[in-house]
Amino acid sequence: MYPNEPVFVPNPHGTSEDDGVILADVMYTEDNSTYLVILNASNMEEIGRAGPTPRIIPHGFHGRYLVW
């Protein structure tokens, strides 16, 4: 598993600095798939995941535009 750049999304009604979630796409090399993983920012426990995406999301995707 290879995670890409994580993004912190704050809770708009949060009361502490780490109140929110972390989103990161993770590439699984065993089956060539990518999932979006959602983590609790205060304890890094997995809340959920979405996927697999229709195509694998390569590393360095940030700031690039691809035609599928």
Q: Which residues, 6 or more positions from 12, have their beta carbon under 8 angstroms from its beta carbon?
A: none
d(CA 34, CA 25): 7
Q: Which of 42, 34, 51, 49 is nearest to 9 (CA)?
A: 42
**For residue 65, what pLDDT is reported?**
60
**For residue 3, what pLDDT is reported?**
87
**For residue 35, what pLDDT is reported?**
93
Domain spans of the chain, in order of start: 2-50
**For residue 18, what pLDDT is reported?**
93
Q: How does pLDDT run across 11-64, given as a tens digit for each residue? A: 999 999 999 999 998 998 888 899 999 999 999 999 999 999 888 877 765 555
**For residue 66, what pLDDT is reported?**
57
